[in-house]
Structure 1
């Protein structure tokens, strides 16, 4: 039915979602259409532009809740959870995003603006530091999604199977008595500490800290 930029971007997202960003190439995306990679260059300049378009399209899929939360904490929490759900749908996306070299993505920027829209009583520089710190907590934690996808492809074991295989080695280490912090956790540490628990714990502590800054500014 003919190629278009939109179709190429959708195909790139499909490949990256299933196989990870490392597997993405112009040739791999072209294979989805049964054409040569040269056919794609009529619609995207190169792989870098393709991935940027894919990321912006992924953020376009975020649906903001209506009515929006009115309190600053509820709004920031909602924005963080929207990002978390987005990264679960697209495990490659957090690995692509950069804090030190941010990409020009208006739709991602709009989500961050929405997330911070109810914070008052802090100066603009503090506000953007709050925003980037929250973004980085969600992004850095969610980077584990693609790590796990790639590890499963390499080992043939999902996260549960891998932890079960490692359990005897961990038990041997803990029996030495040299690691009381780990031994004090009920069950295997890998079961008690997951990407979800790290996200939830870190989000709550970050919002606690933001609350202290806001109160200090009053």
Structure 2
């Protein structure tokens, strides 16, 4: 793995104006960066479900058919958006610190992308699993370096993945709606801090708990030998 480059590089050039044509209605100056930026604006304002080629064309101020000369369909558009959203994540060098520090640095960067692009969590999951395996491989390599067994590397990564993307869904969810006025005593005491579930505290508490738990599991694994 080349650790001197980002795990997810930004896209290079528009899906080549198809077959080198610039048909009527297409904007010859339209770039992939503009297409991706417009798509991200739509996602940010309206949500990923509202992103369509027609909605994209309105955001770009071009004819409804124009985006099709640059991007084949919504699936390809989402690939471009996810690739751009994950761009710039740096894989920590082995000498940059102990495994806990390196793992946390990598996870923090992924979480930052999820915060920056709310609503894209499911798209980013699919992108990471299908086309950005370098990020998953980097996390697993850190866990192998720490001494985890192959079985525990897989389970540890799955735990991290579940926390990262599960938390993202909670943060972006509208919640269950108003609660009853009369709440059980302990529940009411805890719910006084419900706003923390949408803030940085939730992430900090959760990821520290996950990494501390992994550290304890590693000690358990090693003492069982």
What is the TM-score with the length of structure 2 in the denominator?
0.71
Are the aligned partners of 1:144 and 1:195 in contact in 2 as well (CA < 8 Å)? no
Within 2, Cα distance between the matches of 1:53 and 1:9? 7
Question: Does the residue aligned with 2:89 lie in a helix, a strand or coil?
Answer: coil
Q: In the aligned structure 1, how far is the partner of 2:137 from the partner of 2:130?
A: 14
> Where does structure 2 lack aligned partners over 5 or more consecutive residues?
1-27
Whether 1:182 aligns to 2:187 is yes
Equivalent in the alignment of 1:79 = 106
Structure 2 matches for 1:11-22, cutoff 5 A? 11-22=38-49
Secondary structure of the corresponding residue to residue 141 of structure 2: coil
Name which of 200, 216, 220 aligns with 1:216. Answer: 220
* Deviation of the 1:64 alpha carbon: 5.2
Displacement after TM superposition at 1:10 (Å): 2.4
CA distance in 2, matches of 1:65, 1:103: 20
Q: Output the CA distance in 1 between the equivalents of 2:209 and 2:188.
A: 24
Q: Residues of 2 paired with 1:206 and 1:69: CA distance?
A: 21
User: Are the equivalent residues in 2 in contact too, given 1:121–1:217 (CA < 8 A)?
Assistant: no
- Give 1:1-218 correspondences, 5 Å limit: 2-63=29-90, 69-98=96-125, 103-106=129-132, 109-119=133-143, 120-148=146-174, 166=178, 170=180, 172-174=181-183, 179-185=184-190, 188-218=192-222
- TM-score (normalizing by structure 1): 0.73
* Matched length: 192
- What's 1:156 paired with? none
- Give the secondary structure class of the aligned counterpart of 1:54: helix
**1:41 CA displacement:** 1.6
CA contact (8 A) 1:88 1:145 kept: no
Q: Please give the alpha-carbon distance, in whole angstroms, between the structure 1 residues aligned to 2:140 and 2:205.
A: 20
1:65 deviates by: 6.3
- Residue 57 of structure 1 and its aligned partner are, at CA, apart by 1.2
Structure 1 runs not aligned, ≥5 long: 152-162
Q: Against the structure 1 CA distance between its residues 145 and 28, is the aligned structure 2 distance closer, same or farther, given a 3 Å change threshold?
A: farther
- Alpha-carbon distance change, 57 to 46 in structure 1, aligned in 2, over 3 angstroms: same
Deviation at 1:193, TM superposition (A): 4.2
Q: Residues 19 and 182 from structure 1, CA distance in 2 versus in 1: closer, same or farther, beyond 3 angstroms?
A: same
CA RMSD of superposed structures (Å): 2.9
